[in-house]
Amino acid sequence: MTNACLAAKERWARKMSGLAKPAARATDRLPPGQHEVHEFPVLDLGVQPRIPLDKWELAIRGLVANPVTLNWAQFMALPQFKDVSDVHCVTTWSLFDVAWEGVAFFTLAELVKRKPEAAYVLFKSYDGYSTNSPLAVCLDDDVLIAHTWKGEPLPVEHGGPARVIIPKRYAWKGAKWVREIVFLEHDQPGHWEQRGYSNTADPWTEDRFAPGGAIPAGWRVTGEA
Ligand SMILES: Nc1nc2c(c(=O)[nH]1)N[C@H]1C(S)=C(S)[C@@H](COP(=O)(O)O)O[C@H]1N2
Ligand SMILES: [Mo]
């Protein structure tokens, strides 16, 4: 197990045992170039897929020992986690204190037993969207596959039945209507990453776009993960 994975596992044990204190939130929470909004805007590719719960599936596969395809009941039977986090969109809005509930990415990574060579993750969605992040980023405590927002089922327009949130990255890194989570050895750019958005997407350094819109050398843009 890598150090990042081990550290995540130890944090998770503390959290589930009730010993962890809530993460301290920075007093200056607005990243550079952002402004605060009080309503939750909706952004998509012009399609909002409607997936009935009895048809919903989440496949977790790639470089894992135990690939699984979860149905809704199986997904909901996993350990559930509540968190409050901020959303930062590359189009400059930030929404504070969003109350989410869902399954931690970490729990899914444990379930499928990722192989040591897995270093990147590609998320694929029911609307054809995709987005990628390093595994270490996905293992952060606040990364969830969320199905509940403000105590209610996540509305379709925000990615229900279930969406990914990666609060410390710009919001396009969180796949709404998530359908597949693929563990990869090499990074593979998703929808916006192929169209000039930054691969790393760190709001605190205004890491919005890739220099010149260039796709980093060595990226496989074609071919399905
Ligand atoms: N499946 C899917 N996920 C997606 C998108 C999308 O078009 N399709 N848009 C991304 C972008 S660009 C943003 S800013 C956030 C917006 O989430 P929201 O509509 O809940 O605000 O979802 C991200 N996840
Ligand atoms: Mo976005």
**44 touches ligand 1 (CB under 6 Å):** yes
**179 touches ligand 1 (CB under 6 Å):** no
Listed in sequence order, the DSSP H helices in 139-196 are none
Helix (H), strand (E) counts: the chain:
4, 11
Does the pLDDT at position 223 exceed 50? no
Among 198, 196, 194, residue whose Cα is nearest residue 225: 194
CB 197 within 8 A of CB 210: yes
Listed in sequence order, the DSSP H helices in the chain are 3-16, 72-76, 105-112, 135-138
Does the pLDDT at position 1 exceed 60? no
pLDDT tens-digit readout, 141-193: 999 999 999 999 999 999 999 999 999 999 999 999 999 999 999 999 999 99
Domain boundaries of the chain, sorted by first residue: 3-17+33-224
**128 touches ligand 1 (CB under 6 Å):** no
Does the pLDDT at position 214 exceed 80? no
pTM score of the predicted model: 0.91
The 10 Å Cβ neighbour count of residue 28 is: 8
**176 touches ligand 1 (CB under 6 Å):** yes
Q: Return the SS3 of 71.
A: strand
Å from CA of 16 to ligand 2 middle: 32
Å from CA of 192 to ligand 2 middle: 9
CATH code at 3-17+33-224: 3.90.420.10
**7 touches ligand 1 (CB under 6 Å):** no
Give the bridge partners for 101, in sequence order.
Answer: 82, 148
Minimum mean pLDDT range among 14-28, 43-57, 77-91, 200-214: 14-28
pLDDT tens-digit readout, 183-198: 999 999 999 999 999 9
CB 127 within 8 A of CB 192: no
**125 touches ligand 1 (CB under 6 Å):** yes
Residue nearest to atom 24 of ligand 1 (CA): 175
The ligand placed nearest to the CA atom of residue 41 is: 1
Q: What does the pLDDT read at residue 8? A: 81
Among 70, 182, 78, 196, residue whose Cα is nearest residue 130: 182
Hey, which of 34, 39, 176 would you mutate to test ligand 1's pocket, going by the most ligand atoms within 8 Å of its Cβ? 176
Give the bridge partners for 95, in sequence order.
Answer: 87
Query: At 175, phi and psi to the nearest 5?
Result: -75, 120
Calculate mean pLDDT across residues 57-61: 98
- Alpha-carbon gap, residue 125 to 103, rounded angstroms: 17
**172 touches ligand 1 (CB under 6 Å):** yes
Which tokens in the block code for residue 223?
């071919």
Which tokens in the block code for residue 43?
């952004």
132: Cα separation from own chain's centroid: 9
CB 67 within 8 A of CB 85: no
Calculate mean pLDDT across residues 199-203: 97
pLDDT tens-digit readout, 31-43: 999 999 999 999 9
Amino acid identity for residue 67 in this structure: P
Q: What does the pLDDT read at residue 145? A: 98
Å from CA of 165 to ligand 1 middle: 10
Amino acid identity for residue 147 in this structure: H
Å from CA of 163 to ligand 1 middle: 9
